[in-house]
């Protein structure tokens, strides 16, 4: 008995497999496998008779150097960075500002404001794109009347190379500002009242309380919001597609990586789709997003962890 | 176990009964199409006429959205779930499907002799040996105008470009928008602008075939002049045209805010139920000193057979019927603005459609310059024309720059054009 007792191992924890299985299977089948298969596809190119031939990293080299591909790719990348910058500089500060207003005790009807500001987020992007196209339409849109009140001349905002991308970025900001607001709000109201009261007793102004007490405490949320914005922006596609179609005009001024990928992969009008180059663009998108997220993990989050330890 | 066997038994019986029933019943053919606008016409006019003659064949028209058709059809063909009859896009998209074995060879289909070589040119292999779709219809470019506005201002249909521009000026001075067109969708500028007026400048087929052979260039002669002529439209476009879409411009015209719509004949059936004024049409104005007119009579739509269909006999019967005078007459009248490509004499009841059709006998016909062969490579010639025509009207490039860009794109991959540079 004793002997068998020493050789008897712990029974294999089958329940762990059972619990993990659904997530692992679904995630593998619908996320990991397609992702890897797409990366594999990007290493192939159609040969003479149309069958796929392995070409190594040649597609990536073409995308980054050939005059046919490189300007479009870097143009889309630049536009995507602008799109991201506008979200970081407009959406997230406004979200933080609204959240700190809504976390204040002195504002009435906070639940109503919160709901109203969050509502566009749950609307369909197709709907948002359509509504804004109508609002900004130079023929029947109301933007002209409203801007006229402030003495601003109406422009074909979505038709000019200089304005189309900023305007669409702001439409996206309008739609999604509710998400950072909610995240910031949740972080702000979880700050213990004692900390704030103690600061007040020590004579800190509201301004000081915010920047010296509240902001450092919600710093992890700031990081999360930045990463979510980054990932969301570099995967964006739908708003541009619904307002400007896959041509992402005028003159590719609103072309971001998502629309560039779509045009390449599925083709447009007489241009047949090119799945291998499409997969190459998808591969580059994955790399860019991965780089951004890793940067966050290894710099921002690591510093936060250190701070936790020091505390 | 017994239960299992009885279940298998029941299933077998049910399945075989189903199969027998299917054999007894009529055969159902499914048509794949991007013409979702035509659903009612197919269901109420064309299909009943065919089914009356072939009571054992049941035809179903299953259209997809135009922008999704190509991708959806490819996916369905690859997955083996596509319909029996396939509506064919012109030129390479269908040629590719034929070369991949998805479309059946129809060269020996009885009735094919009713189509001219030009009609078949869009659905034939490069060496001319195999035809794979039955040509259905072409669309003709021109200008549709609001007759009430023309009467009010005492205007006549322009013959020459100079007359055209002076009419545009008069309309603008009277406070109407002269041309209902925007550039945000890009294709309008190229299709309804450049390819509409262009054939008069590059002398139709002569210029188009010149591009294919490498003897003509986009940045010289007629092709450049057409860009220059298009640039002269700029002052007469609606305010904010850079952000005006195709549906916007259609609405401007049907609401009577704009006088002239640079059009394709397919607009007739779209506009007809929406307007409460008389519409007229004039053909693309002639440039200075020209006396022969050329029109874009573009082969646009055809019908082919899925090579993997389970009912090839019935599908061929349908295609054969599509070559008859009866179909030509039915189709051209049900869809005014889509003109049958067959050689049968047909009459069109719609006066506006008849006007477009009459130009075929007055002018030389050609098709859009970029569709045959030239849009095979990257960058795609048609897409380059979209982008540059829109850029030109937006005032971002000069006609010469637009022409140079399009030519450079073509020379980048098209060998006959590389030879002479």
Residue A238 has a CB neighbour count (10 Å cut-off) of 16
Res B116: pLDDT: 85
Residues A12-19 have a mean pLDDT of: 90
HSE on the CB side for B369, CA within 13 Å? 36
Residues A104-108 have a mean pLDDT of: 84
Whether the CB of B373 is below 8 Å from some CB of chain A: the reply is no
> Which residues have C-beta within 8 Å of that of residue A181, sequence separation ≥ 6?
A94, A95, A96, A98, A99, A102, A114, A117, A118
Number of domains in chain A: 1
Q: What is the pLDDT of residues B370-409, one digit of tens each?
A: 998 898 888 889 999 999 999 999 999 999 999 999 999 9
Q: Is the pLDDT of residue B25 over 80?
A: no
Using alpha carbons, select from B171, B195, B191, B169 the residue that is nearest to residue B181: B191
User: Which of A38-42, A139-143, A254-258, B191-195 is predicted with the least confidence, judged by mean pLDDT?
Assistant: A139-143
Residues A21-42 have a mean pLDDT of: 94
| DSSP code for A298 | I
Is A130 contained in some domain? yes
> Which residues have C-beta within 8 Å of that of residue B154, sequence separation ≥ 6?
none
Q: Record the tokens describing residue B343, joined without a space.
A: 């050689």
Q: Is the pLDDT of residue A302 over 70?
A: yes
Whether B64 contacts B33, CB under 8 Å = yes
Whether A175 contacts A125, CB under 8 Å = yes
Counting one residue from chain A and one from chain B, the pairs whose CB atoms sit within 8 A come to 100
pLDDT bin (cut points 50, 70, 90) of residue B170 is very high
CATH number of the domain encompassing residue A281:
1.10.3720.10
What is the distance between the alpha carbons of residues B200 and B290, in angstroms, rounded to a whole number?
8
pLDDT bin (cut points 50, 70, 90) of residue B21 is very low
Res B419: pLDDT: 79
What is the distance between the alpha carbons of residues B181 and B390, in angstroms, rounded to a whole number?
11
Whether the full predicted model's pTM is greater than 0.90, yes or no, is: no
Whether B222 contacts B203, CB under 8 Å = yes
Mutate to test the interface with B, among A145, A240, A251, A269 (most CBs of B within 10 A): A269
Could you report the predicted ipTM of this complex, rounded to two decimals?
A: 0.84
Whether A94 contacts A148, CB under 8 Å = no
Q: What is the pLDDT of residues B200-225, one digit of tens each?
A: 999 999 999 999 999 999 999 999 99
What is the distance between the alpha carbons of residues B105 and B124, in angstroms, rounded to a whole number?
10
What is the distance between the alpha carbons of residues B385 and B53, in angstroms, rounded to a whole number?
45
Chain B residues lying within 8 Å of A67, measured CB to CB? 412
pLDDT bin (cut points 50, 70, 90) of residue B421 is low
Res B2: pLDDT: 55
Question: What are phi and psi for residue B60, nearest 5 degrees?
Answer: -120, 130
Q: What is the pLDDT of residues B79-137, one digit of tens each?
A: 899 999 999 999 888 998 999 999 999 999 999 999 988 788 899 998 889 999 999 99
Whether A144 contacts B250, CB under 8 Å = no
Res A3: pLDDT: 52
Mutate to test the interface with A, among B97, B186, B240 (most CBs of A within 10 A): B240
Q: Record the tokens describing residue B404, joined without a space.
A: 């140079």
**CA angle A158–A164–A169, rounded 5-degree value:** 115
* Closest residue to A159, CB basis, from B70, B183, B382: B183
pLDDT, mean over chain B? 90
What is the distance between the alpha carbons of residues A174 and A170, in angstroms, rounded to a whole number?
6
Is A248 contained in some domain? yes
Q: What's the first-to-final CA gap in chain A, in angstroms?
A: 52
Handedness of CA A27, A28, A30, A35 (dihedral sign): positive
In the block, tokens 């050789």 appear at: A7
What is the distance between the alpha carbons of residues A309 and A129, in angstroms, rounded to a whole number?
46
| DSSP code for B160 | B
What is the distance between the alpha carbons of residues B268 and B335, in angstroms, rounded to a whole number?
9
CB within 8 Å: A270 and B386:
no
pLDDT bin (cut points 50, 70, 90) of residue B14 is low
Is A151 contained in some domain? yes
Residues B248-270 have a mean pLDDT of: 94
Domain that holds residue A261: 58-310
Specify the pairing of strand A44-46 against strand A52-54. Answer: antiparallel
Chain B residues lying within 8 Å of A73, measured CB to CB? none
**CA angle B222–B225–B229, rounded 5-degree value:** 135
User: Which of A115-124, A208-217, B64-73 is predicted with the least confidence, judged by mean pLDDT?
Assistant: B64-73
Domains of chain B in start order, with CATH, are 26-138+299-352 (3.40.190.10), 140-297+367-419 (3.40.190.10)
Chain A residues lying within 8 Å of B371, measured CB to CB? 270
Percent of chain A with pLDDT over 70: 96
pLDDT bin (cut points 50, 70, 90) of residue B19 is very low
Res A1: pLDDT: 45
Using alpha carbons, select from B175, B138, B167 the residue that is nearest to residue B328: B138
Res B7: pLDDT: 55
> Which residues have C-beta within 8 Å of that of residue B414, sequence separation ≥ 6?
B214, B374, B377
d(CA B204, nearest CA chain A) in Å = 21
Total residues found in chain B within this entry: 421
Q: Record the tokens describing residue B235, joined without a space.
A: 């002052």
Chain B residues lying within 8 Å of A138, measured CB to CB? 238-241, 243-244
Res A215: pLDDT: 92
pLDDT bin (cut points 50, 70, 90) of residue A311 is low
Q: Is the pLDDT of residue B12 over 70?
A: no
Residues A207-223 have a mean pLDDT of: 92
């Amino acid at each position: 008995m004793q002997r068998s007792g020493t050789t008897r191992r712990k029974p294999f924890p089958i329940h762990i497999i059972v619990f993990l299985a659904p997530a692992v299977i679904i995630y593998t089948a619908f996320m990991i496998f397609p992702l890897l298969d797409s990366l594999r596809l990007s290493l192939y190119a159609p040969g003479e008779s149309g069958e796929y031939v392995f070409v190594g990293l040649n597609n990536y080299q073409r995308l980054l150097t050939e005059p046919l591909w490189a300007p479009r790719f870097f143009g889309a990348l630049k536009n995507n960075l602008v799109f991201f910058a506008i979200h970081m500089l407009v959406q997230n500060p406004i979200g933080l500002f609204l959240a700190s207003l809504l976390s204040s005790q002195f504002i009435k009807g906070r639940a109503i404001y919160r709901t109203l500001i969050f509502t566009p987020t749950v609307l369909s992007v197709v709907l948002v794109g359509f509504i804004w196209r109508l609002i900004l339409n130079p023929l029947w849109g109301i933007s002209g009347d409203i801007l006229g009140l402030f003495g601003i001349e109406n422009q074909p905002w979505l038709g000019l190379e200089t304005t189309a991308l900023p305007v669409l970025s702001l439409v996206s900001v309008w739609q999604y500002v509710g998400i950072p607001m909610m995240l910031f709000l949740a972080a702000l109201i979880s700050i213990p009242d004692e900390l704030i009261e103690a600061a007040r007793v020590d004579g800190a102004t509201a301004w000081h309380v915010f920047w010296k007490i509240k902001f450092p405490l919600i710093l992890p949320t700031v990081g999360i919001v930045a990463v979510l914005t980054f990932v969301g922006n570099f995967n964006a596609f739908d708003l541009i597609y619904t307002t400007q179609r896959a041509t992402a005009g005028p003159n590719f001024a609103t072309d971001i990586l998502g629309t560039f990928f779509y045009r390449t992969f599925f083709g447009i009008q007489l241009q047949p789709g090119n799945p291998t180059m499409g997969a190459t663009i998808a591969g580059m998108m994955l790399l860019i997003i991965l780089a951004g997220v890793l940067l966050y993990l290894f710099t921002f989050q690591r510093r936060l962890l250190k701070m936790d330890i020091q505390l | 176990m017994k239960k299992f066997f009885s279940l298998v038994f029941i299933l077998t019986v049910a399945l075989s009964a189903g199969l027998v029933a299917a054999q007894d019943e009529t055969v159902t053919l499914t048509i794949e199409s991007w013409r979702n606008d035509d659903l009612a016409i197919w269901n109420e006019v064309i299909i009943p006429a065919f089914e009356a003659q072939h009571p054992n064949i049941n035809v179903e028209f299953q259209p997809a959205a135009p922008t999704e058709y190509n991708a959806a059809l490819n996916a369905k063909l690859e997955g083996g779930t596509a319909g029996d009859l396939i509506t064919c896009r012109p030129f390479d998209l269908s040629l590719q499907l034929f070369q991949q074995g998805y479309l059946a060879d129809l060269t020996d289909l009885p009735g094919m002799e009713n189509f001219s070589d030009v009609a078949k040119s869009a659905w034939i292999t490069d060496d001319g040996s195999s035809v794979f779709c039955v040509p259905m219809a072409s669309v003709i470019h021109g200008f549709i105008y609001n007759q009430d506005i023309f009467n009010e201002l005492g205007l006549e249909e322009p013959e020459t470009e100079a007359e055209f521009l002076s009419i545009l000026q008069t309309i603008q001075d009277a406070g109407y928008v002269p041309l209902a067109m925007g550039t945000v969708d890009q294709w309008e500028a190229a299709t309804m602008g450049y390819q509409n007026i262009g054939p008069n400048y590059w002398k139709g087929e002569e210029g188009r075939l010149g591009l294919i052979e490498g003897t003509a260039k986009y940045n010289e002669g007629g092709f450049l002049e057409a860009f220059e002529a298009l640039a002269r439209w700029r002052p007469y476009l609606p305010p904010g045209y850079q952000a005006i879409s195709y549906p916007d411009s259609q609405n401007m015209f049907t609401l009577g805010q704009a006088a002239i719509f640079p059009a394709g004949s397919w607009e007739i059936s779209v506009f007809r139920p929406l307007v409460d004024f008389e519409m007229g049409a004039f053909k693309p104005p002639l440039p200075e000193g020209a006396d022969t007119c050329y029109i874009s009579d573009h082969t646009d739509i055809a019908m082919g057979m899925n090579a993997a269909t389970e009912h090839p006999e019935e599908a061929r019967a349908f295609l054969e019927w599509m070559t008859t005078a009866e179909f030509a007459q039915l189709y051209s009248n049900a869809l005014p603005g889509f003109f049958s490509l067959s050689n049968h004499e047909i009459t069109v009841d719609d006066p506006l459609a008849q006007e477009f059709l009459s130009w075929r006998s007055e002018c030389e016909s050609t098709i859009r310059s970029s569709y045959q062969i030239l849009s095979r490579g990257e960058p795609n010639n048609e897409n380059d024309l979209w982008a540059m025509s829109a850029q030109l009207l937006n005032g971002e490039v000069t006609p010469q720059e637009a022409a140079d860009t399009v030519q450079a794109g073509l020379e980048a991959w098209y060998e006959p054009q590389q030879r002479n540079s």
